[in-house]
Amino acid sequence: MSNITALGKEQHLALYRQMLEIRRTEEQLAKSHQAGLIPGACHTYVGEEAIATGVCAHLTHQDAVFSTHRGHGHALAKGVPPREVIAELFGRVTGCSRGRGGSMHLFSPEVGMMGTSGIVGPCILQATGAGYTSKLLNTGNVGVAFFGDGASNNGAFHEGLNLAAIYDLPVIFVCENNMYATEVAFSYATRNTEVAERARSYGMPGVAVDGNDVVAVYEAAAEAVKRARAGHGPTLIEGKTYRTRAHVEGMRDGGYRTQEEIDSWKARDPITTYRARLLEAGLVAEAEVNAVDEAVRVLVEEALEFAKNSPYPDPATVSRYIFSEASA
Amino acid sequence: MSNITALGKEQHLALYRQMLEIRRTEEQLAKSHQAGLIPGACHTYVGEEAIATGVCAHLTHQDAVFSTHRGHGHALAKGVPPREVIAELFGRVTGCSRGRGGSMHLFSPEVGMMGTSGIVGPCILQATGAGYTSKLLNTGNVGVAFFGDGASNNGAFHEGLNLAAIYDLPVIFVCENNMYATEVAFSYATRNTEVAERARSYGMPGVAVDGNDVVAVYEAAAEAVKRARAGHGPTLIEGKTYRTRAHVEGMRDGGYRTQEEIDSWKARDPITTYRARLLEAGLVAEAEVNAVDEAVRVLVEEALEFAKNSPYPDPATVSRYIFSEASA
Amino acid sequence: MSTTTATTTREITFTAAAREALSEAMAADPRIFVVGEGIGARGGNFNTTTGLYELYGPMRLRDTPIVERGFVGMCTGAAMTGSRPVVDFMFVDFILDAMGELINQVAKMQYMSSGRLKMPMVLRGCIGISGASATHHSGSYYPLFVNIPGFKVVLPSNAYDAKGLLTTALKGDDPVLFLEHKLVLNNKGHVPEESYSIPFGQAAVVREGTQATVVALSSMVKKVSDACDSLAKEGISIELIDPRTVAPLDVDTVLQSVHKTGRLLIVDEAFGPCGVGAEISAQVTARGFDDLDAPIQRLNGVHTPTPYSPPLEAAVVPDVKQIVQAIRDLLAE
Amino acid sequence: MSTTTATTTREITFTAAAREALSEAMAADPRIFVVGEGIGARGGNFNTTTGLYELYGPMRLRDTPIVERGFVGMCTGAAMTGSRPVVDFMFVDFILDAMGELINQVAKMQYMSSGRLKMPMVLRGCIGISGASATHHSGSYYPLFVNIPGFKVVLPSNAYDAKGLLTTALKGDDPVLFLEHKLVLNNKGHVPEESYSIPFGQAAVVREGTQATVVALSSMVKKVSDACDSLAKEGISIELIDPRTVAPLDVDTVLQSVHKTGRLLIVDEAFGPCGVGAEISAQVTARGFDDLDAPIQRLNGVHTPTPYSPPLEAAVVPDVKQIVQAIRDLLAE
Ligand SMILES: Cc1ncc(C[n+]2csc(CCOP(=O)(O)OP(=O)(O)O)c2C)c(N)n1
Ligand SMILES: Cc1ncc(C[n+]2csc(CCOP(=O)(O)OP(=O)(O)O)c2C)c(N)n1
Ligand SMILES: [Mg+2]
Ligand SMILES: [Mg+2]
């Protein structure tokens, strides 16, 4: 278990607030999906909030994050406001992708959220490319890829990690090992479920952390980001975690995993356990976390209203932005 | 160094003969290329003969071999006669691919030579598929992929090895680590040049052997083939070796490696060192190896004549075999 | 000809029909196996294999890691050595990671080996725009496979054709793309219980007419049919042709029709440039020029990545109204 | 307009011209870097980067492992974050392993991000059949990229165009396929030393004529030109058009020409079905129907994987004799 006394109160409250913002937004999205407000798919990050939160705490808006189909948490942790995420899933022009993307295509380059992808794998390579730009133009920025255990079997993992390693690029590869790819168990999909160990093949440090312990993630990420910014190359971080909702909203969630397993992970919820630890250790006062709870509640409620009241994009614009405007 | 006393005379002479057949054929091809008899590319296997020889010694015509651009040696070791290889490179209809393929597309399914590929990577996946057929239809056959160090960085390696591992397929992955991919050094292309170590990522045994020692290869392959046929799954074998000619005939061979390095490997030539060891240990008589030398010389000479005298394919047939005849 | 009315009037969905073809073929031929993500116990994201795992077990319904290139390459080697793989991509968009294997290996294998290797492989996946799937789950990439020699490309538009065409695909020795538009999956149709096959390269004349010929692909067959219905009320008579396979492409049937009508429109959700409509137009122009009373026209999906938001999405797919207008324009020329 | 005769009469090869464009652009813009196998110290298998490593160093001329998908994906992320990658595939056949990244990411990135990300990426590689390269080293896959929205596709046929078009590609913010036919690489032409650019989407009228229009692509421009020379001796006057870019495709210039000649033939080594010729034919039919005095015809490479053996190889590529015959046939209609 991580040493929570190493961080100050402000840091703890910020981490807690960020996780909660993701959780409440996801819960709202799940509800909205049931209510028919989300026309497309919706993969929630519920249960995995500690990872995006612990990693993104070290990033500036110039650092570039690349993510995958389960990307709401990454977008939020990187600084995309909940209202832009919700509006995007509602298909509104005020969404972070202006309604062109939906759940699996969240873009907000303004804050360094360089996109989620409906295709599993590419984010690993693209983060490597962000590292290349950083080194080429000497910006000091890092590239970060978030991806699942499922992606770690894909060729993009092998090629991307190797490229980052040989060019010594400032990249953090964050594998969110939630033990399943849709309904296919990771233990079926590989004979070595220790993703962090694979780093050895690329001559790169690999670190496995408890992905439900935000401070453990925070510390591993601190080290990796420091290495990257210092020019010492990439790191692979494996966060062991679990999604407690179905793969995608509206999909059945039975047969491939036991209720026991789900419950055991729910008991290790990254948010409630952290809250309890902070209070128990006396690092924050109950009133302080309650205030955060309330602030997040209001934020997400307002975000929902904002999204609901936002207009749809104009169909006349449908062919814009295929090419850069200059060249069109 | 391998224990050569474990094999009998016939086996030694067969291994020696096979290596020499490859060498003499390659030398003839190199000469023929210079003479303008080969219209396309020609990547020779000179210096690496021990690997194909040591592995294929364990295979029947029902076992399936898949290879890459540097595939002459694999085809020959698998049982394609030199004349069919030479004729193929000459573009003749008597070639093993009937003139459709050339150096990088050698097919002889009759002997289980399932093709070489001008594209680096696919053979790894295809051998996995041969293993799948074997298991599905319960044939007891194995699939074998030969590929270079360069291919081991490609996503096909990652995906193919993992698939073979999780399905417990009878496959042997043979990486010919000759330290270069064209002019790019393997030590530039990866931070972990020990390919065999990568097997760990897939929960598969990985064995590194001296790829210039035919008996060492033979023994590693024996073990791997035994495992495969027994239903215990795949093995990765890394043969450390060196090509002593240019990447491809007619290409300059300077700048990226030193003459010293080349010479040091030439001194470890798999054929001459083996010959010397056999004689020194008294396992074969000089007259016996001389007889092999002569037989191979004649074989390759006749193969050359055969190829030279063979007709070209009929241009009227150019669109045949795109689809199966039944369906065309 | 069936003797039981119960059988001949049975109506099942496109998905059920295709699954029936698959199950029949698997029962008859133990060399057939299916790979894909979640096609085992789960039965496939689109229910392509529901119930089959129980019948045929894990070697023949093989769940995979997320390695599209990997399992296509594996299936290539499997097909080369005597088994008959079916690759279920779920969304066909994921096929793109396997293009190297498909174009350089699968499509060329029989040719490279001078016909000594066969390549019996069925590649199936859902195509098309629907339900705010956005640009990574809405593609219809068939023109790419028509351009490359070595593929057969099947676009069934209804349940009956789905079963018959998939049966043909599974019996053949060639690589076949079997592409199922999301919008037709749940459409029901009359499907005989007994096995039957529909040959490739034979277009269906879906309705006969005299004033213009419309060729429609996949989900557009239904939309054009609706458009024809509405035009018929005004006495406008349209001949509607569904090629069913676009490689091979039955242009003869189109030419015969154009010989009669003198006018041709091709309606296709997939992209226009270098698309199937372009190919049909070029062939009809070259071979039936004198039959043409008006320029051949195409109506395609808008040439853009597929947007997510419903009003944008709706704007990129040809709808019945646009089809009606396109036919009117064609008749007015 | 240049003032020095020395400059204006300089003749250099296609490869040298393209390399000059690249070097000029790299000198001007430190965000440009090149990746590929052997494009560093070795200077590229086709000498695309000879001498540049010494000028710009290893960060900007970056040798790669054999990971086509990997380095395309890496370059995608690089372009998204402000650098300007040039991907040198050597043989364009190798691009197929990167199709997922190209179609789902590169081509869609600007759209998905509503124009807030740019995608300045030049993808170059050698195309075409020559020298018994066989089927893994002879492809011309451009119709695939014309079909997909989001790519610009350049097919320079000569040294002058190579420099001007590559300059445009390197200055733009869009993904550009720059495809160099092996048979034109060593052809010399007049190339100004100073920098210049040729806009995309403007066809060149290579020679004027009155009796028929021939559109030729890439290496076929020279062959058609030779055919026209021989026909000219008989007084036959052909207008030859080189589109130079096939996305965007300048059909207006073709229409103007057909308005004059009434006849059109498209000559293209690449595959016919759903090819560029089909697209040109379909557009000209739709828009210039009344100008046509005869059916539009296409002459393409044979629709087959490329065989190795020289007599087979020769049989799949249109040659001057076939072109002459095709033009005669067109005039006879
Ligand atoms: C290339 C590709 N293949 C298949 C899919 C379908 N798909 C979407 S999510 C998913 C599972 C992903 O698993 P993992 O990477 O572990 O992420 P998780 O959903 O567990 O967060 C699959 C197979 C896809 N999006 N892209
Ligand atoms: C996918 C692909 N990319 C690039 C090439 C060009 N190429 C041919 S051989 C070669 C080097 C291969 O190196 P390695 O795998 O080590 O085999 P070796 O030649 O050393 O035997 C390259 C890059 C190719 N054939 N295929
Ligand atoms: Mg997972
Ligand atoms: Mg090598």
Contacts of B93 in chain D (CB under 8 A): 309
Of D24, D37, D101, D137, the active-site residue reads: D137
Residue in chain B lying closest to C63 (CA): B167
pLDDT for the residue D8: 60
Contacts of A129 in chain D (CB under 8 A): 73-81, 85
Confidence bin at B1 (pLDDT 50/70/90):
confident
Picking from C67, C97, C314, the nearest residue to A153 by CB comes out as: C67
Alpha-carbon distance of A256 to A266, in angstroms, equals 17
Alpha-carbon distance of D84 to D187, in angstroms, equals 28
Residue in chain A lying closest to C316 (CA): A318
Question: In the predicted model, what is the mean pLDDT of residues C256-283?
Answer: 98
Best residue in B66, B111, B159, B161 for a mutation probing chain C (most C CBs within 10 Å): B159
- Of D198, C321, D113, nearest to A105 by C-alpha is D113
Q: Kindly determine whether residue A201 and residue B192, on different chains, have CB atoms separated by under 8 Å.
A: yes
- Of D245, D105, A1, B117, nearest to C96 by C-alpha is D105
Centre of ligand 4 to C-alpha C300, Å, is 47
Alpha-carbon distance of B152 to B132, in angstroms, equals 21
Contacts of B129 in chain C (CB under 8 A): 73-81, 85
**D136 and D264 inside one domain:** no
The string of pLDDT tens digits covering residues B245-287 is: 999 999 999 889 999 999 999 999 999 999 999 999 999 999 9
Q: Kindly determine whether residue A92 and residue C309, on different chains, have CB atoms separated by under 8 Å.
A: yes
pLDDT for the residue C7: 52
Alpha-carbon distance of C78 to C33, in angstroms, equals 10
Domain boundary (D192, D214, D240) is at: D192
B320 in a structural domain: no
Mark the ranges of chain A whose per-residue pLDDT is less than 50: 328
Residue in chain B lying closest to D304 (CA): B319
**D80 and D218 inside one domain:** no
Q: How many domains are contained in chain B?
A: 1
A33 in ligand 1 pocket by Cβ < 6 Å? no
The string of pLDDT tens digits covering residues C52-69 is: 999 999 999 999 999 999
D6 in a structural domain: no
Distance of CA A97 to the CA centre of its chain: 17
Q: Is the peptide bond before C248 cis (omega within 30 degrees of 0)?
A: yes
The string of pLDDT tens digits covering residues B54-82 is: 999 999 999 999 999 999 999 999 999 99
Contacts of D305 in chain C (CB under 8 A): 107-108, 111-112, 149-150
**D101 and D150 inside one domain:** yes
Domain hosting residue D296, numbered range:
204-332
Res B327 pLDDT > 70? no
B7 in ligand 2 pocket by Cβ < 6 Å? no
B182 in ligand 2 pocket by Cβ < 6 Å? yes
pLDDT for the residue C2: 40
B165 in a structural domain: yes
A324 in a structural domain: no
Contact predicate C135/C309, CB 8 Å: no
Q: Kindly determine whether residue B313 and residue D38, on different chains, have CB atoms separated by under 8 Å.
A: no
pLDDT for the residue D101: 98
The string of pLDDT tens digits covering residues C152-198 is: 999 999 999 999 999 999 999 999 999 999 999 999 999 999 999 99
Centre of ligand 1 to C-alpha B34, Å, is 52
Whole-number percent of chain D with pLDDT over 70: 98
Centre of ligand 3 to C-alpha B90, Å, is 52
**D85 and D183 inside one domain:** yes
CATH number at residue D41: 3.40.50.970
Q: Kindly determine whether residue A191 and residue B156, on different chains, have CB atoms separated by under 8 Å.
A: no
D87 in a structural domain: yes
**Proximal ligand: closest to the CA of D45:** 2
Rg of chain A on CA atoms, in Å: 19
pLDDT for the residue C4: 46
**D43 and D143 inside one domain:** yes
Domain hosting residue A38, numbered range:
4-245+253-304
Taken as a whole, chain D contains a residue count of 333
Res C245 pLDDT > 50? yes
Task: Output the CA torsion sign for A294, A300, A301, A303.
Answer: positive
Strand D245-247 relative to strand D152-154, pairing? antiparallel
**D29 and D162 inside one domain:** yes
A175 in a structural domain: yes
**D161 and D21 inside one domain:** yes
Q: How far is D310 from chain B (nearest CA, A)?
A: 7
Residue in chain B lying closest to C199 (CA): B327
Which residue has a Cα nearest atom 11 of ligand 1? A181
Res C77 pLDDT > 90? yes
Q: Kindly determine whether residue D100 and residue C96, on different chains, have CB atoms separated by under 8 Å.
A: yes
B328 in a structural domain: no
Contact predicate D274/C145, CB 8 Å: no
Whole-number percent of chain B with pLDDT over 90: 97
C182 in a structural domain: yes
D185 in a structural domain: yes
Q: What is the mean pLDDT of chain C?
A: 97
D284 in a structural domain: yes
Phi, psi (5° rounding) for residue C19?
-65, -35
B317 in a structural domain: no
Q: How far is B158 from chain A (nearest CA, A)?
A: 6
**C172 and C226 inside one domain:** no
Centre of ligand 2 to C-alpha D37, Å, is 9
**D187 and D211 inside one domain:** no
Contacts of D131 in chain B (CB under 8 A): 39-40
Q: Is the peptide bond before B270 cis (omega within 30 degrees of 0)?
A: no
Q: Kindly determine whether residue D286 and residue C297, on different chains, have CB atoms separated by under 8 Å.
A: yes
Centre of ligand 1 to C-alpha A150, Å, is 6
Question: How is residue C307 annotated by DSSP?
Answer: P
Res B4 pLDDT > 60? yes
The environment of the single-atom ion ligand 3, i.e. residues with CB closer than 5 A, is A 148-150, 178, 181
- The answer to whether D107 faces chain C, any CB pair under 8 Å, is yes
pLDDT for the residue D190: 96
C167 in a structural domain: yes
The string of pLDDT tens digits covering residues C211-223 is: 999 999 999 999 9
**D129 and D40 inside one domain:** yes
pLDDT for the residue A309: 98
**D74 and D122 inside one domain:** yes
Q: Kindly determine whether residue A64 and residue D71, on different chains, have CB atoms separated by under 8 Å.
A: no
Q: Helices B82-89 & B286-308, crossing angle to 10 degrees?
A: 40
Of C68, C101, C180, C313, the active-site residue reads: C68
- The answer to whether D67 faces chain B, any CB pair under 8 Å, is yes
Picking from B121, B188, B317, the nearest residue to D63 by CB comes out as: B188
The residue to which tokens 């350089």 are assigned: C104
C65 in a structural domain: yes
Q: Kindly determine whether residue D305 and residue C107, on different chains, have CB atoms separated by under 8 Å.
A: yes
- Of A270, A294, A228, nearest to A2 by C-alpha is A270
Which residue has a Cα nearest atom 21 of ligand 1? A148
The string of pLDDT tens digits covering residues D66-121 is: 999 999 999 999 999 999 999 999 999 999 999 999 999 999 999 999 999 999 99
Residue in chain A lying closest to B154 (CA): A159
The residue to which tokens 């195509």 are assigned: C127
pTM of the model: 0.98
B69 in ligand 2 pocket by Cβ < 6 Å? yes
- The answer to whether C308 faces chain D, any CB pair under 8 Å, is no
Determine whether C180 is an active site residue. Answer: no
Res C3 pLDDT > 80? no
State the chains in contact with D (3 or more Cβ–Cβ pairs under 8 Å).
A, B, C
- The one-digit pLDDT tens for each residue of chain D (333 residues) are 344 444 567 999 999 999 999 999 999 999 999 999 999 999 999 999 999 999 999 999 999 999 999 999 999 999 999 999 999 999 999 999 999 999 999 999 999 999 999 999 999 999 999 999 999 999 999 999 999 999 999 999 999 999 999 999 999 999 999 999 999 999 999 999 999 999 999 999 999 999 999 999 999 999 999 999 999 999 999 999 999 999 999 999 999 999 999 999 999 999 999 999 999 999 999 999 999 999 999 999 999 999 999 999 999 999 999 999 999 999 999
The string of pLDDT tens digits covering residues B190-232 is: 999 999 999 999 999 999 999 999 999 999 999 999 999 999 9
Of D68, D180, D269, D279, the active-site residue reads: D68
Contacts of C65 in chain A (CB under 8 A): 150, 153-154, 181, 184, 189-190
**D156 and D230 inside one domain:** no
Determine whether D137 is an active site residue. Answer: yes
Lookup: tokens for A128: 């490597």
C29 in a structural domain: yes
Contacts of B41 in chain D (CB under 8 A): 133, 137
A149 in ligand 1 pocket by Cβ < 6 Å? yes
Of C24, C101, C137, C239, the active-site residue reads: C137
- The answer to whether B184 faces chain A, any CB pair under 8 Å, is no
Centre of ligand 1 to C-alpha A198, Å, is 20
3-state secondary structure of D316: helix
CATH number at residue A118: 3.40.50.970
CATH number at residue C325: 3.40.50.920
Alpha-carbon distance of C195 to A229, in angstroms, equals 65
Q: How many domains are contained in chain D?
A: 2
A119 in ligand 1 pocket by Cβ < 6 Å? yes
- Start-to-end CA distance of chain B, whole Å, equals 55
State the chains in contact with C (3 or more Cβ–Cβ pairs under 8 Å).
A, B, D
C66 in ligand 1 pocket by Cβ < 6 Å? yes
Q: Kindly determine whether residue D136 and residue C289, on different chains, have CB atoms separated by under 8 Å.
A: no
